Amino acid sequence: FINEGSYVEKFDIYVGDLLVKANVERTLVVSIGDAQPSFEIGGGKYDSGSTITNKAHSLSIAGDEENIDSLETVIKDKIFENLKVSDMNVSSSGTYGITLTAQNSVVEVPTIDLSKTATHKVKVTYKKADSNITSTITVPVIVKAATAPVIRFTQGQNLTIPVGTSFDLAKNIKVYENKIATVEGQNVVWKVEGAIDTATPGVYRLRYIATNPKGLSTELTRIITVEGKATEKPTIEKFVGVGYVNYVPGYGIRVWGEPQSNGSDRVLAHGTAWKIDQKATMKDGSVWYRVGTNQWVDAQYVSLTPINEANEENVSGVATINYVEGYSVNVYSSPASSSASWTGKQLKHGTKWLTYKRATINGKTFYNLGGSQWVDSQYITFSAN
C-alpha cells in the first residue's frame, strides 16, 4: 500500500482444514498521515526535539544596537527570518518553505542581561495547521554585551580651586551613550552625588553616575580640592582615643598645623596608629583630630578601630581590558584605588594581561597584573588558566 486509494482484499476462512467461508471481501482505504515537521536554518536541517550545536547555525545580536525593552521582539524577528519549516522530517524529501510567524509558532525568550556576552537557549515550537502535531527546536542566540555609558571631563577629572571660587558641578562634563560618541547626554540619565562648599577649604568627593536606556551604569569619582586658609574657628574639645590612618597602602595623610590651615611636610603612613587628645569640629561639620602639639589630621582619613586591609587571593589567568574602544583604564599601585594611588599608567581596551592576584576591599574587587599594578574588576574580563 504505497499509494493512496481504496483497495479490495479477498480471502478464505478456515478452521483447521475445514473451509468455513470462501471469497470473503473487505475494503481497505489507504491515506497518508501527518508528517512530523522539521526545521532548517543556515543550511542545516534538524528534526523536532533537536538542539542546534553547530555555531554556524546559531544567531547573533549586538547588545549595543538593541534596547533592553525591545530585545525579545528583536530575537523573535530574527528567528522568524532565519528559521524555516518543512512538513516532512529530515530523513524524507521535503521543501523547507514554511515561514514561522507569531500565529503558527511560540518563541520562548529567557531573561537576558545586556551587561554580559552570553549564549541563550531559545525554545521554538511550531504548530501544524489544522492538526495537533507540533515540533520543537532549541536555537542558540548569542547576545553580545552592550557598552556602558562613557563619562569625560574636558577640564580634568580632579581639580584644585582657590577658596571662594564658584564651581559648576555640571560644567566641562560630557556623557556618551556608548563607545560611539553621540551628542553628549543623548538618551542618558546622569546625576551627581555630593556637594562642594567653596567657602571652606578641604577635599570634596563627587560621584558622577550615568545610566543608559539599556540599564547599564558608569560611575566616576571626582576629587575637588578647595585650597585656602579658613577664617572660621573650630569647636575644640578633649577627646582621648587611638586613631588608625585609613588611606591607601603605601601612602599617607598630611599633618596640619591647625585644622583646615596650611599643611606641613610631615605625612602619617597608612595603617599606623596614633594617640588622639583633642577633637576639632568645624562649622561645616567636618572633624579633625590632634595627634600632637600643632599636629592635626583630617578625621575622614582616620578610623577609630583597626582598618580592614584588602582580602587578597592568588589567581592565575588572563585579564582582558573590557572598557570602551579607543579608550583606556587606570592602573593603581594598590587595590584601594584613589587619585593618590594612580600610577599614571593606563591600559587600552582589548589588551590582554597575565593576572596573579585578586583583592577585595570595601566591597570592590581588583586584579593584580604583576607587581604594584591593580585594575578595577569592572573593566576586566577574567579567564582562569
Tens of pLDDT, residues 221-256: 888 898 876 556 789 999 998 888 888 777 788 898
Tens of pLDDT, residues 196-222: 888 888 899 999 898 887 778 888 888
The helix/strand/coil state of 337 is coil
DSSP state letters, 221-273 = EEEEEEES---SPPEEEEEEEEEEE-S-TT-EEEEESSTTS-EEEEEEETT-E
Domain boundary among 303, 330, 350: 303
One domain for residues 126 and 88? yes
One domain for residues 52 and 135? yes
One domain for residues 340 and 379? yes
Query: Any idea how long the chain is?
Result: 385
Calculated CA dihedral for residues 108, 113, 146, 191, nearest 10 degrees = 130
Report the distance separating Cα 164 and Cα 300, nearest Å.
22
Nearest CA among 321, 327, 383, 322 for reference residue 352: 321
Q: In terms of pLDDT, which residue wins out, 367 or 167?
A: 367
DSSP 134: E
One domain for residues 160 and 183? yes
In whole angstroms, how large is the CA radius of gyration of the chain? 35
**CATH at 357:** 2.30.30.170
Q: pLDDT averaged over the chain?
A: 84
Contact 276, 268 (CB under 8 A): no
Report the distance separating Cα 222 and Cα 219, nearest Å.
10
Residue 123: Cβ within 10 Å count: 14
Which residues make beta-bridge pairs with 9?
A: 26
pLDDT at 354 over 90: yes
One domain for residues 292 and 327? no
Domain that holds residue 109: 38-144
One domain for residues 342 and 256? no
Q: Cα dist. 63→55, 111, 256, 369 in Å?
A: 19, 14, 51, 29
One domain for residues 271 and 319? no
Q: What pLDDT score was predicted for residue 200? A: 87
Q: What pLDDT score was predicted for residue 96? A: 87
Q: What pLDDT score was predicted for residue 179? A: 58
DSSP state letters, 1-54 = --S-EEEEEEEEEEETTEEEEEEEEEEEEE-------EEEETTEEE-TT-B---
The answer for residues whose C-beta is within 8 angstroms of residue 307's C-beta and 6 or more apart is: 244, 245, 246, 271
Contact 377, 366 (CB under 8 A): yes
One domain for residues 267 and 316? no
Q: Cα dist. 287→225, 258, 282, 296 in Å?
A: 17, 12, 6, 10
Domain boundary among 123, 144, 165: 144
Domain count, the chain: 5
φ/ψ of residue 117, rounded to 5: -80, 125
Tens of pLDDT, residues 82-138: 999 987 766 555 688 889 999 999 999 998 888 888 999 999 999 988 788 889 999
One domain for residues 129 and 154? no
Domain boundary among 144, 170, 200: 144
C-alpha cell at 278: 583633642
**CATH at 181:** 2.60.40.10
φ/ψ of residue 300, rounded to 5: -70, -15
C-alpha cell at 172: 566641562
The helix/strand/coil state of 75 is helix
Q: What pLDDT score was predicted for residue 112? A: 86
One domain for residues 171 and 100? no
Q: What pLDDT score was predicted for residue 185? A: 56
One domain for residues 48 and 2? no
One domain for residues 334 and 367? yes
